[in-house]
Amino acid sequence: MAYRIMIVEDEYWNAMEMATEVEDRGGIVTGPLGSLSEAMDLLHGPERPDAAILDVNLRGADILPFADMLLRRKIPFVFATGYDKAILPERFARVPHFEKPITLKDCVDTALALAAGHEAQKAP
């Protein structure tokens, strides 16, 4: 089934890459969204992603509140970051984490798997 993967990434190239990979794997790309405000808007909208790929360092913006929102809505996600893992708070310790330049394949695989797992949880 085609899972909706939300991509939040401000670097155009990375975003395009991820989008292409997701689509190549049969997923549906929600976005990509280059800014936090756009991402928030989408989350409040009708579309609900099955999983998300979240860039940790969206230009100057603090994505942690957004990540918390994803946690609350039980939307699984992975981090893509150009910084070391250490700076993330404890509650995100178990979130899968990919350092740039990310291995696209692994990242997208994980996102899709999470979407599937999440979907499986929802099933009665």
Partner 1 sequence: MTMKYKLDETVLEDLDKGFCVLEVLFDPDEQANDYRFLTTNAAFERQSGLANAEGACISALSARVEQEWLDAFGRVAKSGRAERFELHAPSFGRWYDAYAFPVSTVLRHHVGVLFNNITGRKEQEARLRRSREVFKALVTAGTYSAFRMSTDGRIMYPVDSESLERTADPIVDWIDKLIPSESRAHVRAAVDEAIATKSRFELEHPVLFAGDKQRWVLSRAVPVMDAQGTITEWFGVGTDITERRKVEEALRKSEERLRQFAQASSNILWMRDADTLQWTYLSPAFERIYGLSCQEALCADNPRAWLELVEPDDRARVSAAIQRAREGERITFEYRVRRPRDGELRWLRDTGFPITEEAGKVVLIGGIGQDVTEIRRAQERLEASEERLRASVEVGRLGLWDWNVRTGAIHWSDEHFRMQGYEVGEVMPSYEAWKTRVHPDDRERLEHELHRARETQGEFVAEFRTLHPDGTVRWLNGRGRFFYDVAGQPVRMIGAMIDTTERRELEDRQRVLVAELQHRTRNLMGIIRAVADKTVLASSGLPDFRSRFRGRLDALARVQGLLSRLKEHDRVTFDELICSEITAMNGEASRVRLSGPKGVRLRSSTVQMLAMALHELATNALKYGALGQPDGQLTITWTLEENGAGSRPWLHVEWRETGVEMPPDTAPRGAGQGRELIENALPYQLGAKTRYSFTPDGLHCVISVPVSTAAEAA
Q: In the range 98-117, which residues lie near partner 1 by CB under 8 A?
A: 99-102
- 3-state SS, 2-13, equals CCEEEEECCCHH
3-state secondary structure of 62: coil
Nearest approach in angstroms of CB 17 to partner 1 is: 5
Using a 10 angstrom Cβ sphere, with 0-12 exposed, 13-18 middle and 19 or more buried, the burial of residue 113 is: middle
Alpha-carbon span 71 to 9, nearest angstrom: 18
Q: Which residue, 57 or 118, is less far from partner 1 as judged by CB?
A: 57
Neighbours of 61 (CB within 10 A): 15
Q: Which residue, 12 or 47, is less far from partner 1 as judged by CB?
A: 12
The mark string for 11-50 relative to partner 1 (x by CB under 8 A, - otherwise) is xxxxxxx--------------x-x----------------
Among 83, 85, 91, 117, binds partner 1 (CB under 8 A): 83
Nearest approach in angstroms of CB 101 to partner 1 is: 4
Binding status of residue 55 toward partner 1 by CB under 8 A: no
Alpha helices (runs of H) in 1-63, residue ranges in sequence order: 12-24, 36-44
Q: Could you list the residues that contact partner 1 (CB under 8 A)? A: 10-17, 32, 34, 57, 59-60, 82-83, 99-102
